[in-house]
């Protein structure tokens, strides 16, 4: 059975945010997280709908899935799946009428254990920059589900700033903060209607989604640094520091990354005003 299928964190808020962000960015009928073993493919999380697709938890032979062929080296995105030999004979193309597919791997300890994907029965082109951001969202998912308990997480300084990692050096708190930023900037929304000849609107919507995601990725770095400052200042584990930062921001009706900028600045300048719960040691 795929390890992602029964993983409790697959229904957590960070995974929800990453999945919703992927759906908003791609604009496809269905966006999903799949789980893989040597023999099986399972629908772990599903957003959207398509006749005959099945429910979360559905399992098919691995070789019948689009994801198996993507992992094996087939093109990661296509708007003409029936014309791609690796994809043409798969169950989604043969029985669901899938025309467009995009997928990126989710890894655990270096092994591919799942995928983050989108499918559509019409031709949907996925630009390279969108594929790059989708890969970043998959990294958020794999970091979150693989990092483990608080006791497995450590915090350290590096040349790139504060880093938070587990026994496999996975950045759990970074994933949590990015998921929170994505949830704030990209709330779940229904698939936008397609209109014939309305390609410009579709392109503009896609560029807006990518821009929002890029902003969240940049803001995440500052949030991560603020978590490091709070962890050291208040002797907190990283996850507790993140929750304190988020609570302080939301109590005051402010964005998490705006408060994070102030926390980081206060590390060099103690006169920077901060909410009382973020200033001083606890």
What CATH architecture is 1-146?
2-Layer Sandwich (3.30)
What does the pLDDT read at residue 95? 96
- Domain ranges, ordered by start, for the chain: 1-146, 149-282
Cut 0.75: pTM above it: no
Q: In whole angstroms, what is the distance from residue 42 CA to residue 240 CA? A: 33
The residue with greater pLDDT, 136 or 93, is 93
Mode of pairing for the β-strands spanning 154-158 and 161-165: antiparallel
What does the pLDDT read at residue 159? 46
Rg (CA), the chain: 20
What does the pLDDT read at residue 84? 97
Is the predicted pLDDT of residue 72 greater than 70, yes or no? Answer: yes
% pLDDT > 90, the chain? 34
């Amino acid at each position: 059975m795929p390890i992602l299928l029964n993983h409790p964190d697959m229904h957590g808020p960070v995974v929800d945010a990453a999945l919703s962000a992927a759906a908003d960015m791609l604009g496809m009928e269905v966006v999903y997280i799949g789980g893989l073993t040597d023999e099986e493919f399972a629908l772990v999380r599903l957003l959207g709908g398509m006749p005959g697709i099945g429910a979360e938890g559905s399992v098919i032979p691995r070789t019948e899935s689009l994801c198996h062929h993507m992992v094996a080296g087939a093109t990661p995105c296509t708007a003409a799946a029936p014309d791609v030999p690796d994809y043409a004979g798969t169950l989604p193309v043969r029985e669901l009428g899938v025309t467009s597919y995009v997928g990126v791997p989710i890894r655990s300890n270096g092994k591919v254990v799942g995928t983050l994907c989108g499918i559509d029965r019409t031709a949907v082109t996925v630009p390279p920059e969108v594929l790059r951001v989708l890969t970043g969202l998959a990294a958020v998912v794999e970091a979150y589900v693989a990092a483990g308990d608080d006791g497995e997480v450590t915090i350290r300084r590096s040349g790139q700033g504060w880093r938070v990692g587990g026994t496999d050096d996975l950045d759990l708190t970074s994933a949590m903060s990015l998921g929170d930023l994505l949830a704030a900037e990209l709330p779940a929304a229904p698939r936008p209607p397609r209109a014939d000849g309305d390609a410009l609107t579709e392109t503009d919507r896609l560029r807006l989604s990518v821009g929002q995601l890029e902003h969240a990725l940049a803001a995440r770095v500052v949030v991560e640094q603020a978590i490091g400052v709070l962890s050291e200042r208040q002797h907190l584990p990283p996850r507790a520091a993140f929750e304190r930062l988020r609570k302080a921001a939301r109590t005051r009706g402010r964005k998490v990354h705006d408060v994070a900028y102030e926390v980081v600045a206060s590390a060099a300048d103690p006169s920077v005003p901060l909410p009382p719960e973020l200033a001083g040691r606890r």
